Amino acid sequence: MVQTGYASQSLQWTLSAHPGPRNSHGTGDGLLAIRRAVRRVPRQGAEASASWNSSWQRSCVALAVALLITACGGQQPPTTHFVNVTAASGIAYAPGFLAPLGRFDLDRTYAPGGVAAGDYDGDGDIDVFIVRGDIGPNLLYRNLGNLTFEEVAAAAGLANTKSASENYRHAGPMFADMDGDGDLDLFLGGLEGDPCLIFRNEGAGVFLDVTAGSGLDAMRSEQSVGAAFGDYDLDGDLDLFISHWGTERDYSEPGDTEHLWRNDSGASGIRFTSVSVEAGISPSILTLPDPLISLRFWDHTFTPSFARIDDDLYPDILSVGDYNHTHYFVNNRDGTFRNATDVEVLTDDNGMGSALGDYDHDGDLDWFVSSILMKGSLRRAIGNRLYRNDGGVFTDATDEAGVADGGWGWASCFLDIENDGDLDIYHTNGYPFADRYANEFGADKSRVFVSDGSGQFEENAAELGLDDSGEGRGVVCADFDGDGDIDILELTFTGANLWRNDASGGSFLSVRLEGRAPNTEAAGSRIMLSAGGVTQLREISIASNFVSQNPTEQIFGLGHDTVDELRVQWPDGSETVITDVEANQRLVVRQPDP
């Protein structure tokens, strides 16, 4: 376990931070920084720390009082960290769904907001692909720099997928290098019986539909909402997990639920083989009938991820699901998985969004699941859940962290808003129906839980300028303008919001990995950055936030610290260690030849 310690120079920087925007206590960010600093007691041993802590905390109190006087005196007006720059960016979006064709009101529940982010043209900028419904067309926005985008879907062959003028109903797009040739291909989920599609990146900004013969063309599941890619068998290529919310199943004879697909690509093209039964996924993943809805059996998987939860090299599977349907599958390292779901711990009743990150700096991945907090209902809905990873076993840390109340949550992500080295949480919200819950959730706002560095969070969306109430669904957290901090793209029922991060935070380091083919994105790799006595962990994950995807570029916030060491553990277990790394740069690390 990494021991956390802050030297005196870190304290001096923290206390000199500008007051900034007001928080929910009416104080400025400078006071929030003090609250963070007071909780960060250096771990120097009991005897050494006792006297140091006493004098240090007395000094903190005196400084806090002084800063409180300054902050309350109105010396600096409140500012917002995020600015909506959508109008100038060139991004314009509407969901584009006709009236529902079947039993699901897809255009008013979860289908809008499908968005993938990645550098499809290899120019170093994060591009954006947005799926739309049967009205179409889909949208591909090429990043031109300076937060401006050019829509090029038609030229790329992605505008309409059914015919030259007709579009299928899509959700959950994902960029991933499926054929291992070094550029990003594109997966599209299908709704209401419309197919999943694979578009191969042909280079020069052009994509080709190669679904025929890929294995996905034989899929029977009528709903494919989200996806994730990862190399679960460590054979070097990217396998696929697909979620199928709303597909009816036979619980007594589940058969092949078509969730886990092994990548068998080769010279003949991109190929996937369904292995859900033999891998042990299918028998475990169905939802029992809910008498408040129906007596039929449904697949309610929403948001999947591959992640190294138990700290070996083999990715495990996390599947967020609706109606008490979230699962944790441990990789047995032989092509099969064990259902390790602890129903006493994984209690997100209506899990939707998913985010993975080491929020407590102990060297493993923790799991945030956005859900619904509902009071006075027949249905149990206890809100968001934060599952702390304790050696490959999850512990519910929601209440102590203070992140339960997220309203009606959807897509989520971990991000370091101020580049202070701590991971914060963002998730979008919204409720689509005019019924008895409309008054409580109809204008629900997005949430931002800001970390204080001690494992506790404070909700500060309004102070940060992110309290949008536009029925959000998909979210991308990425550095779109290349300035070293995380911006946010949110898709809603009415359009898009691109929020530029203007926080006057600390230094940063951007890291991109280039893995050996066919895993050219180095999925499953871990990056450990040590600075200021703290080690930050990131894992390269091609996962879903909820019908949406972050790019694989990693942004580390440094505060005013310098980098002591950057360590990369590659998917095969080999390591690259780099020292003398300057801050405020974009670094590309290539996997050495074996």
Q: Considering just the CA atoms, what is the radius of gyration of the chain in Å? A: 23
Task: Determine the pLDDT at residue 253.
Answer: 58
Phi-psi region of 75 (alpha: psi -120 to 50; beta: other; left: phi over 0): alpha
Long-range contacts of 99-108 (CB under 8 A, 24+ apart): 100/192, 101/169, 101/192, 102/192, 102/193, 104/192, 104/223, 104/246, 105/432, 106/133, 106/169, 106/191, 106/192, 107/133, 108/432, 108/433, 108/493
pTM: 0.85
Sign of the C-alpha dihedral, residues 437, 135, 299, 265? negative
Q: Which tokens in the block code for residue 180?
A: 């291992």
Residue 261 contacts residue 219 (beta carbons within 8 Å): no
The letter for the amino acid at 210 is V
Residue 538 contacts residue 522 (beta carbons within 8 Å): no
CA distance linking residue 384 with residue 407, whole number of Å: 8
pLDDT single digits (tens) 252-287: 555 788 999 999 999 899 999 999 999 999 877 765
Task: Determine the pLDDT at residue 99.
Answer: 62
Cα–Cα–Cα angle for 374, 376, 381, rounded to 5 degrees: 30
pLDDT single digits (tens) 152-194: 999 999 999 999 999 999 999 999 999 999 999 999 999 888 9
Residue 468 contacts residue 492 (beta carbons within 8 Å): yes
Task: Determine the pLDDT at residue 40.
Answer: 37
Sign of the C-alpha dihedral, residues 25, 30, 36, 37? negative
Three-class DSSP category at 273: strand
CA distance linking residue 64 with residue 547, whole number of Å: 43
Say which residues have a Cβ less than 8 Å from residue 421's Cβ, sequence separation at least 6.
Answer: 453, 506, 531, 532, 534, 536, 556, 557, 558, 559, 561
The letter for the amino acid at 415 is L
| Residue ranges, the chain, pLDDT below 50 | 1-78, 107
Residue 507 contacts residue 423 (beta carbons within 8 Å): no
CA distance linking residue 25 with residue 569, whole number of Å: 42
Residue 29 contacts residue 36 (beta carbons within 8 Å): no
CA distance linking residue 156 with residue 222, whole number of Å: 27
What separation in angstroms does the CA of 61 have from each of 75, 151, 469, 529? 20, 53, 38, 31
CATH architecture of 82-501: 7 Propeller (2.130)
Q: What share of the chain is helix, strand, coil (3-state, %, to 5)?
A: 15, 35, 55
Cα–Cα–Cα angle for 463, 468, 471, rounded to 5 degrees: 155
Phi/psi for 263 (5° steps) reads: -80, 115
Mark out the alpha helices in 318-425 (DSSP H runs): 398-401
Strand-pair partners of 587: 511
Number of H helices, E strands in the chain: 8, 37
Helix axes 8-15, 46-72, angle to 10 degrees: 10
SS3 readout for 279-340: CCCHHHCCECCCCCCCCCEEECEEEEEEECCCCCCCCEEEEEECCCCCEEEEECCCCCEEEC
Give the distance between the most distant pair of CA atoms in the chain.
Answer: 74
Question: What strands, in cross-sheet order, belong to the sheet with 239-243?
Answer: 226-230, 239-243, 260-263, 272-274
Place of tokens 């039929």: 296
Task: Determine the pLDDT at residue 290.
Answer: 56
